[in-house]
Amino acid sequence: MKSPFLTMIAEQMYLKRYAKSTIKAYLYWIASFIRFNSMRHPTTMGDNEVELFLNYLVNQQNVAPNTQTQALNALSFLFKEVIKKPLSLSLSFIKSKRATKLPVVLTQQEINNFFKVCSAKHYLPCGLLYGSGMRLMEVLRLRVHDIDFDYNCIRIWDGKGGKNRVVTLAVELTPQLRSQIQLVDSYLQLDLKNPLYCGVYMPHLLRKKYPNHNRQLGWQYLFSSHKSGPVDLSGLKFVQSRGYLIAA
């Protein structure tokens, strides 16, 4: 990120545990607001400039109501948390009235047809998305120890808004989950034999608190990447494999 001001805002949002997608969206709208006002610094602006910008989004850009609301939330964060000059609660601007699209909901038969043609490598993640009501990133970030077979549930840590929750585990997926864990364990045993294996990523400085946990099965990602990409470290060539750095 080139702008020191936007970098500072991003750092504040990370400290407040905002989701990466929210940070990206807020930075986009804050940058758009600054460009709309001819690159003036937000400290020199206030309610009037915000109202003009929100009107512009509706009149010229024809944005949806949710888009305008997101832009307003981004600017509210900017003025309240960064500039320390909260916006007025009585802002006067044109609210978007663009028709909201009705959601498309698949029938049970359509879901069954989907799973019939779903590829083997995607069947289990899709089953968790549908059967447990999880978000995509929550499925991709699952660790082995997040699956609780005794209580038929899945524990989700640091989800949207930094919140933790428990969701139901569909018993039909239990055999596939156990097979997936066995696959992860086989990968781990191979990695442990490599002297350059550095372990899985540990969140929130747990790597320092529990230095050996990154090599335990429970902390391994349930769905590891099957692709590798080159990474250069100190003149040595490595590949990123299953979240680890391994000699090429």
Residue 95 lies in a domain: no
Residues spanned by the domain of 120: 108-179
- Of 140, 21, 34, 136, which is closest to residue 78 (Cα–Cα)? 34
Report residue 90: phi and psi, to 5°.
-110, 45
Would you say residue 246 has pLDDT above 70?
no
pLDDT digits (tens, 9 = 90+) for 100-119: 778 888 898 999 999 999 99
Residue 216 lies in a domain: yes
Residue 97 lies in a domain: no
Nearest 5°: the CA angle 177, 180, 184 is 135
Helix 65-77 and helix 47-59, axial crossing angle in degrees, nearest 10? 160
Would you say residue 238 has pLDDT above 70?
no
Last-in-domain residue among 156, 179, 202: 179
Would you say residue 34 has pLDDT above 90?
yes
Put simply, whether the predicted model's pTM sits higher than 0.85 gets the answer no
Residue 189 lies in a domain: yes
C-alpha distances (whole Å) from 102 to each of 99, 105, 148, 206 are 9, 9, 36, 44
In whole angstroms, give the CA distance from residue 244 to residue 153. 28
C-alpha distances (whole Å) from 109 to each of 105, 173, 200, 243 are 12, 19, 40, 37
pLDDT digits (tens, 9 = 90+) for 85-94: 999 988 888 8
Domains of the chain: total: 3
